[in-house]
C-alpha cells in the first residue's frame, strides 16, 4: 500500500482568484516532493470535464517535470469508463433518443393537437430528454412521475402530466426492445457509480483518490464525492470555497447562494466547514474575497453588514485597488470599451486578458470591435454550427425540400460561397446566377422550377444550357413530396449539398473541408446512421431539425489566415472556472443576463419538483454566483455592464447592487472606494469614445 499522502484533514479548497489547474498541480507537486517517482503514477484524480482533464494534465506535467510519471486523470462524467466500473450496455445516442422521443411526441400531439403545433415536436423531444436526464441524475427513474398527485395541483398540470407520461409509459420498453438494451447516459453513469461503490466498499483502493475542481452541484457528482471522502486515502479539493463565510451560516444558505452546492455537499458527508484546509497558496486578493463574501451573504442576515462595516472600511483600499466598474450607456459602448481593454493589455509584454461572460451577443460584438486592430480572440465557445459557412449552406439546401423552390431561396443558395465549385467554375457560376436572378425578378416569376430555369437558358449560349441542366439535376431530388425516414432524408440532403458545392465536374468533398465542414459532415452522418428509429420527416421538417441540432453544436473558428491570439481569450462561465488571466473582464453584468433568470419549467411546477426531490430552479443562479465570486477574486478585474440593451433600460446584476449597497453602507471609505471603481471605468469609456471621434471637425463641402 502506498504511504498516506495526506496528514490530518482530507478536505481542501482553492480560494477564488487562482487558476484551479495550476493551483492543484502546484499543491500536489509539493506533497509529492521527496517521494518515489512511482507514487505520482499511483494517484487517481477525478475532474469535472474533459477540458479540465486536459488543463490539469498539462499543469501536472509542468510542475512534476517532463520526465515524471503523471497521475491518472479521469473525468467525473465518464464513470462508465473507470477501471473499477462494471461492464455495462452502451449508452443510447442522444440523437437517436431525441428522434425516438419526437415520434412519441408526434403521436401524442396527433391525439391532443391543442397542446402544441406539430412543428414543435423536436423542441419538445429535447425538453423531455432533458427532464429524463435530470430525473436519472437525481437517482429517479421515469416511473417517479407516477408519484405526483396531480389532484393537489392546478387542473392544467394533469394535461402536462399526461404528456410527460410519454417517457414513463413507453421509453423503458423502447430502450429494452428497440435499442438493444441500451441505457440512458445518466442512468448508465449512475449504474457505473453503484458498481464502483460496491467494489470500493468491499476492497478500498490502496492509492490516493482525489476529486478536484467540482462543487458537487450535480446529484451524481455529490454521491461520488461522498464516496471518495469516505475512502481511507480519499480527498476532495473544492474550487472557490468561501473560507470567510461563518460555518454556522452553511445551514441557512438558499439555492441561489454561491456556496449552496458545497454547503449541501459538506452536510451530506458530515464535515465541518471550518475543517476545509487550504490546498496550496493563499488567495491573490484576500481582502476582495472578504468583501465579496459579505456582499453575497443571504438576505436575512445582511444586518451583519452594520457590524462588519468598521473592519471592512479598513481593508477597502486593498479590496478595490484592482477593481474597476464600467457602466456603459449601451451594449455597443460596452463592447468597444472591452475591446479597448483587451487591446491595451497586449502593450504589456506577455500579459494575458480574459473576457468572462455568458452573453454571446456581447462576445460577438467584442470580437467584431477587435477586428479594427486585425485581432482575433481565442473564443472558447466558438460559433454555433448553424452560423458557419457549411452550416448555413446545409440549412439553405434543406429549405428547398418539398416542391419547386422559391426564386429568392434558390438564388440565395446559389450565391453562397460554397455553391458552384471553385476558381473559374465559381466565377462562371456567379455570372449565370446573376443573369438568372435578373430574369426571374424582371418577369416576376415566384418559383424557380425547372421550366423557369430552362426558359432563362433558351436563346443563350450552350454553356448556359449546360449550367441550367446541372442546377436542375442537382436540386431535383429535393422536389420529391412525401415523408422520408430520417436516414434517407439525410442521405438525400448530403447528395444534393455535395452536388451543388462541387459545381459541374468539381470536387464534392470541398464542402467538408476545415473544422466547421468536418463538424457538419459528422452531424449529417449521424442523421444518416439513425436508421431504425422510426422517425419520419416531412420535407419542411428537415430544415427545422437541422436548426435544432446545429444550434446545440459549437465549433471553433477556423480561419488559417487569421489565427486567434492566445493572449486574448473569451470564456464562458464554465470555462472560466478553470482559467484566469493577468487582466480579467467580467462582461454583461446585467440582471437577466448574468445571472440568467430561471426559465419557466414546462413540465413540473415548483411543488412538483419538491415532491420529487429535484433541485429548485434557482440552483442555476447559485452556480452563476459561484462563477462570479471566483472570477472577481483575480488581482485585476474590470466589471462591465450596459445601462440600456436594445433601447430598453437594463438593471444591474443583483450582485453589483449588493456590492454597491455594502460599500455605501461603509460610510465615507465605502463611497470613496465605489467612486474610485467608477472613475476607473469612466476612463475606459472616455478612451473608447475617442476611437470614433474625428481628430478635427470636417467642414461641409461647398458642393456635392
230-274: pLDDT as tens digits: 999 999 999 999 999 988 888 889 999 999 999 999 999 999 999
Supply 314's cell numbers.
479598513
pTM score above 0.85: yes
> Is residue 72 scored above 90 in pLDDT?
yes
When pLDDT is cut at 50, 70 and 90, the band that residue 634 belongs to is very high
Give pLDDT, residue 560: 66
Residue 559 or 621, more confident: 621
Give pLDDT, residue 372: 93
Q: What is the pLDDT of residues 44-60, one digit of tens each?
A: 999 999 999 999 999 99
Give pLDDT, residue 268: 92
Supply 501's cell numbers.
458545392
Supply 211's cell numbers.
476529486
Burial code (b: 16+ CB inside 10 Å, e: under 16) for 11-45 equals bbbbbbbbbbbbbbbbbbbebbeeeeeebbebbbb
Give pLDDT, residue 455: 92
Give pLDDT, residue 154: 67
Q: What is the pLDDT of residues 187-216, one digit of tens each?
A: 999 999 999 999 999 999 999 999 999 999
| Contact between 292 and 648 (Cβ < 8 Å) | no
Supply 95's cell numbers.
440523437
Give pLDDT, residue 229: 94
Residue 604 or 435, more confident: 435
> Is residue 163 scored above 80 in pLDDT?
no
When pLDDT is cut at 50, 70 and 90, the band that residue 452 belongs to is very high
Cis preceding-peptide flag for 595 (omega within 30 of 0): yes
Which value, to the nearest 10 degrees, does the dihedral of the CA atoms of residues 660, 661, 665, 667 take? 30
- Residue 338, number of CB atoms within 10 A of its CB: 29
Give pLDDT, residue 86: 95
| Contact between 85 and 192 (Cβ < 8 Å) | yes
Give pLDDT, residue 97: 92
Burial code (b: 16+ CB inside 10 Å, e: under 16) for 449-478 equals bbebbeebbeeeeeebbebbebbbebbeeb
Give pLDDT, residue 701: 83
Cα separation of 485 and 437, whole Å? 34
> Is residue 365 scored above 80 in pLDDT?
yes
Give pLDDT, residue 153: 67
- For 65, residues 6+ apart whose C-beta sits below 8 A from its C-beta are none
Q: What is the pLDDT of residues 536-554, one digit of tens each?
A: 888 888 899 999 899 889 8
Cα separation of 448 and 432, whole Å? 14
| Contact between 436 and 511 (Cβ < 8 Å) | no
Q: What is the pLDDT of residues 101-128, one digit of tens each?
A: 999 888 888 888 888 888 888 888 898 8
Give pLDDT, residue 693: 83
| Contact between 101 and 85 (Cβ < 8 Å) | no
> Is residue 278 scored above 90 in pLDDT?
yes
Cα separation of 121 and 103, whole Å? 8
| Contact between 565 and 375 (Cβ < 8 Å) | yes
Burial of 300 from C-beta contacts in 10 A (0-12 / 13-18 / 19+): exposed
What's the sign of the alpha-carbon dihedral 239, 280, 352, 660? positive
- Angle at the Cα of 253 (from 248 to 258), degrees rounded to 5? 115
Give the chain's mean pLDDT. Answer: 90
> Is residue 69 scored above 70 in pLDDT?
yes
Cα separation of 587 and 327, whole Å? 11
How many CA atoms lie within 13 Å of 649's alpha carbon, on the beta-carbon side?
A: 1
Give pLDDT, residue 558: 64
Cα separation of 242 and 293, whole Å? 7
Amino acid at each position: 500500500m502506498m504511504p498516506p499522502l495526506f496528514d490530518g484533514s482530507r478536505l481542501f479548497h482553492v480560494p477564488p482568484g487562482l487558476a484551479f489547474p495550476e493551483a492543484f498541480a502546484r499543491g500536489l507537486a509539493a506533497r509529492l516532493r521527496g517521494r518515489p517517482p512511482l507514487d505520482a503514477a499511483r494517484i487517481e484524480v477525478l475532474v469535472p470535464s474533459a477540458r479540465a482533464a486536459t488543463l490539469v494534465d498539462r499543469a501536472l506535467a509542468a510542475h512534476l517535470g517532463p520526465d515524471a510519471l503523471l497521475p491518472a486523470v479521469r473525468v467525473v462524467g465518464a464513470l462508465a469508463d473507470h477501471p473499477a466500473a462494471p461492464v455495462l450496455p452502451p449508452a443510447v445516442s442522444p440523437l437517436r433518443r431525441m428522434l425516438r422521443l419526437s415520434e412519441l411526441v408526434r403521436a401524442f400531439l396527433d391525439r391532443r393537437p391543442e397542446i402544441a403545433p406539430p412543428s414543435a415536436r423536436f423542441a419538445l423531444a429535447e425538453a423531455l430528454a432533458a427532464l429524463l436526464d435530470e430525473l436519472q441524475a437525481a437517482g429517479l427513474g421515469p416511473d417517479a412521475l407516477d408519484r405526483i398527485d396531480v389532484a393537489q395541483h392546478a387542473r392544467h398540470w394533469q394535461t402536462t402530466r399526461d404528456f410527460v407520461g410519454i417517457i414513463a409509459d413507453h421509453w423503458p420498453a423502447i430502450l429494452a426492445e428497440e435499442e438493444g438494451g441500451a441505457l440512458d447516459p445518466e442512468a448508465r453513469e449512475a449504474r457505473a457509480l453503484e458498481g464502483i461503490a460496491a467494489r470500493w466498499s468491499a476492497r478500498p483502493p490502496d492509492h490516493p483518490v482525489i476529486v478536484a475542481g467540482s462543487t458537487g452541484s450535480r446529484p451524481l457528482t455529490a454521491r461520488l464525492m461522498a464516496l471518495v471522502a469516505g475512502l481511507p486515502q480519499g480527498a476532495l479539493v473544492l474550487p472557490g470555497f468561501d473560507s470567510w463565510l461563518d460555518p454556522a451560516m452553511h445551514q441557512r444558505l438558499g439555492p441561489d447562494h454561491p456556496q449552496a452546492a458545497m454547503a449541501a455537499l459538506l452536510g451530506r458527508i458530515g464535515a465541518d466547514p471550518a475543517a476545509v484546509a487550504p490546498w496550496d497558496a493563499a488567495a491573490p486578493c484576500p481582502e476582495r474575497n472578504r468583501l465579496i463574501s459579505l456582499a453575497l451573504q443571504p438576505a436575512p442576515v445582511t444586518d451583519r453588514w452594520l457590524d462588519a462595516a468598521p473592519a471592512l472600511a479598513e481593508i477597502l483600499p486593498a479590496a478595490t485597488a484592482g477593481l474597476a466598474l464600467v457602466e456603459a450607456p449601451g451594449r455597443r459602448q460596452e463592447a468597444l470599451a472591452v475591446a479597448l481593454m483587451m487591446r491595451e493589455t497586449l502593450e504589456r509584454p506577455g500579459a494575458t486578458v480574459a473576457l468572462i461572460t455568458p452573453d454571446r451577443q456581447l462576445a460577438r460584438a467584442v470580437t467584431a470591435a477587435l477586428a479594427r486592430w486585425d485581432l482575433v480572440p481565442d473564443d472558447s465557445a466558438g460559433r454555433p454550427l448553424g452560423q458557419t459557412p457549411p452550416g448555413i449552406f446545409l440549412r439553405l439546401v434543406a429549405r428547398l425540400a418539398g416542391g419547386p423552390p422559391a426564386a429568392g431561396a434558390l438564388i440565395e443558395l446559389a450565391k453562397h460561397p460554397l455553391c458552384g465549385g471553385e476558381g473559374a467554375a465559381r466565377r462562371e457560376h456567379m455570372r449565370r446566377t446573376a443573369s438568372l436572378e435578373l430574369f426571374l425578378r424582371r418577369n416576376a416569376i415566384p418559383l424557380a422550377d425547372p421550366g423557369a430555369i430552362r426558359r432563362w437558358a433558351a436563346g443563350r449560349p450552350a454553356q448556359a444550357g449546360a449550367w441550367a441542366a446541372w442546377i436542375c439535376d442537382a436540386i431535383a431530388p429535393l422536389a420529391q413530396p412525401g415523408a422520408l425516414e430520417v436516414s434517407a432524408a439525410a442521405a438525400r440532403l448530403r447528395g444534393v449539398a455535395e452536388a451543388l458545392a462541387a459545381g459541374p465536374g468539381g470536387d464534392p468533398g470541398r464542402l467538408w473541408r476545415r473544422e466547421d465542414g468536418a463538424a457538419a459532415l459528422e452531424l449529417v452522418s449521424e442523421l444518416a446512421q439513425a436508421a431504425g428509429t422510426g422517425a419520419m420527416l416531412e420535407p419542411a421538417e428537415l430544415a427545422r431539425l437541422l436548426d435544432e441540432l446545429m444550434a446545440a453544436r459549437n465549433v471553433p473558428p477556423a480561419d488559417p489566415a487569421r489565427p486567434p491570439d492566445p493572449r486574448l481569450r473569451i470564456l464562458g462561465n464554465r470555462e472560466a472556472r478553470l482559467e484566469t488571466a493577468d487582466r480579467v473582464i467580467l462582461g454583461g453584468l446585467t440582471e437577466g443576463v448574468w445571472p440568467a433568470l430561471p426559465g419557466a419549467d414546462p413540465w413540473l411546477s415548483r411543488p412538483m419538483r419538491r415532491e420529487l426531490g429535484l433541485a429548485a430552479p434557482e440552483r442555476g443562479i447559485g452556480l452563476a454566483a459561484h462563477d462570479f465570486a471566483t472570477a472577481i477574486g483575480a488581482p485585476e478585474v474590470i466589471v462591465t455592464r450596459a445601462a440600456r440593451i436594445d433601447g430598453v433600460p437594463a438593471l444591474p446584476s443583483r450582485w453589483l447592487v449588493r456590492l454597491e449597497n455594502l460599500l455605501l453602507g461603509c460610510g465615507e471609505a465605502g463611497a470613496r472606494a465605489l467612486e474610485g471603481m467608477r472613475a476607473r471605468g469612466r476612463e475606459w469609456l472616455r478612451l473608447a469614445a475617442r476611437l470614433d471621434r474625428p481628430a478635427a471637425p470636417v467642414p461641409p463641402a461647398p458642393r456635392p
